[in-house]
Amino acid sequence: MITPFGLHHVQLIRDLQNASCILDFKNAFLQPGNPLRASLRGYFLRSRSGVFTYVLKAPDHGKRLLGFAQARAQTPGSVWHIVCMAPTLDSSDDAATIWYRLLLHLCIAAGERRVQRLLARLSEGGAAEEVFRQASFSVYCRERVFQRSSAEGMGKGSSYVHRLGPSDLADAQRLYRKSTPRLVLLAEGASDRAGSALSREIPSSDTEWYQGFVDDESTMRAIAHTVLGQRGSWLRVTLHPTAHELAGEVLDHALAVLSNYPPRPVYCTVRDYQGGIQAPLEQRAFSLTQVHSLLVKHTTVRVSESPRQLVSSLEKRAEVAPTASRSELEARIH
């Protein structure tokens, strides 16, 4: 049976978390993760925490299958990111079966909460990707991770780059949509009200910010998104399709800002549709460290209205049809 995390699962999560697979690579680079702490936060704060943990404890031919899956909601919550799976696939012959069952349940639980998409980031071509594919996830993008030891002594400020605020949101949205393929927009939700992080808001804090490159005509041509963490800094550059020549200048400005903080590794992600960024990164001593597959599974279907119906009683309106969760209902009964 698969049920939502409860206090009686604390020991199980504690035992398994050291042999868990962390899929939230960005946050893993930046700060230590703790699945048990996240599970407890999700339990006490419920949906307000944005963390959902499901535990598998099931008999199987004389033995017990034990595992858990953890997802984090994107705010607002029409998208879940799968951030942790346990046990690791190389831990036992049953691990792939455990993952498969948990992934199917995550889709059911997400659909019950009217979550429309599940996203995951996996090492390209690994065993995990194959299990996700068997659970009907599909790859919508590839992403490369480049690393530099630190930003110390690097970069040069640009007078054309400024820190973005709420008044820049419309321009940021416009640039993001122009520079992102439709398949990615659909997968990550930028075409609906939830949107992407860039489309929903422009965070402004001591640890996360956006910087925009504005040309002489006040048109936003590039954006650098930076996040500071305990283990390193994370950087992503978004360029207008006709502004690839700005990559070096935007990177130099971002590195100049990061050089004002204590030295730490800098990670920069480049997606397969983002041309013009890899060469400037390599010129600045960044090296490729990982390649990820970004996967999506849609948990709902949209039923479209037929243009003409001969019998009015058979007419259907367009609606979102979420899947139902039996296991959660059983957990409430028991």
DSSP letter string, 20-61: -EE--HHHHHHS---HHHHHHHHHHHGGGG-EEEEEEEEEET
* DSSP sequence for 87-98: S-TTS-TTHHHH
User: What are the Cα distances from residue 54, in Å, to 23, 36, 233?
Assistant: 16, 12, 31
- Considering its fold, how many domains does the chain have in total? 2
Q: What is the pLDDT of residue 329?
A: 41
Query: Beta strand pairing status for 287-298 and 117-123?
Result: antiparallel
Residues 109 and 179 in one domain: no
- C-beta separation of 229 from 217 below 8 A: no
Query: Is 166 within a domain?
Result: yes
Q: What mean pLDDT do residues 23-43 have?
A: 86
Neighbours of 67 (CB within 10 A): 26
Mean pLDDT of 55-69: 89
- Residues 19, 128: one domain? yes
Give the model's pLDDT for residue 6.
96
Query: Are both 242 and 175 inside the same structural domain?
Result: yes
Residue 10 pLDDT:
97
pLDDT of residue 26: 80
For 184, the token pair is: 């990615």
Distance CA 176, CA 180 (A): 6
Domain shared by 85 and 34, yes or no = yes
What is the extent of the structural domain holding 208? 146-295
Q: Read off the pLDDT of residues 110-151 as tens digits, 9 standing for 90 and up.
A: 999 999 999 999 999 899 999 999 999 999 999 999 999 998
Task: Confirm whether 13 is domain-assigned.
Answer: yes
- 225 and 262 assigned to the same domain: yes
pLDDT for position 268 = 96
For 233-246, what is each residue's pLDDT tens digit? 999 999 999 999 99
One domain, residues 317 and 274: no
Residues 29, 161 share a domain: no
Is the pLDDT higher at 92 or at 66? 66
User: Could you tell me the pLDDT band of residue 195, with boundaries at 50, 70 and 90?
Assistant: very low
The pLDDT value given to residue 62: 72
**DSSP output for 219-244:** -EEEEEEEEE-SS-EEEEEEE-TT-G
Cβ contact 53:37 at 8 Å: no
The percent of residues above 90 in pLDDT, for the chain, comes to 58
Is the four-CA dihedral 32, 93, 108, 324 of positive or negative sign? negative
List all residues 6 or more positions away from 273 whose beta carbon is below 8 Å from its beta carbon.
141, 180, 181, 184
Number of other CB atoms surrounding residue 231 within 10 Å:
14
Q: In terms of domains, do 288 and 309 share one? A: no
Residue 141 placed within a domain: no
Reference 122, options 88, 91, 79; nearest CA is 88
CATH of the domain at 219: 3.40.630.30
Judge if 79 and 121 occupy the same domain.
Answer: yes
Mean pLDDT of all residues belonging to the chain: 85
Cα angle, residue 289 at apex, residues 286 and 293 outer, rounded to 5°: 120
* Domain match, 260 and 167 both: yes
Cβ partners under 8 Å of residue 280, min gap 6: 247, 248, 251
Which amino acid, 97?
Answer: T
Note the pLDDT tens digit of each residue in 206-231: 788 899 998 877 889 999 999 998 88
How many C-beta atoms surround the C-beta of residue 304 within 10 A? 10
User: Which residues, 6 or more positions from 307, have their beta carbon under 8 angstroms from its beta carbon?
Assistant: none
pLDDT confidence of residue 152 = 84
For residue 300, being part of any structural domain is answered with: no
Decide if 270 contacts 294 (C-beta within 8 A).
Answer: no
CATH code: domain of residue 320: 3.40.630
Q: Which residues of 87-113 are buried (b: 16+ CB within 10 A; e: fewer)?
A: bbbeebebbebbbebbbbbbbbbbbbb
What pLDDT does 190 receive? Answer: 63
Residues 314 and 282 placed together within one structural domain of the fold:
no
Q: Does residue 268 lie within any of the structural domains?
A: yes
Q: pTM of this prediction?
A: 0.83
- Whether 280 and 179 map to the same domain: the answer is yes
d(CA 47, CA 51): 7
Residue 98 lies in a domain: yes
The phi-psi region of residue 65 (left if phi > 0; otherwise alpha if psi is between -120 and 50; otherwise beta) is beta
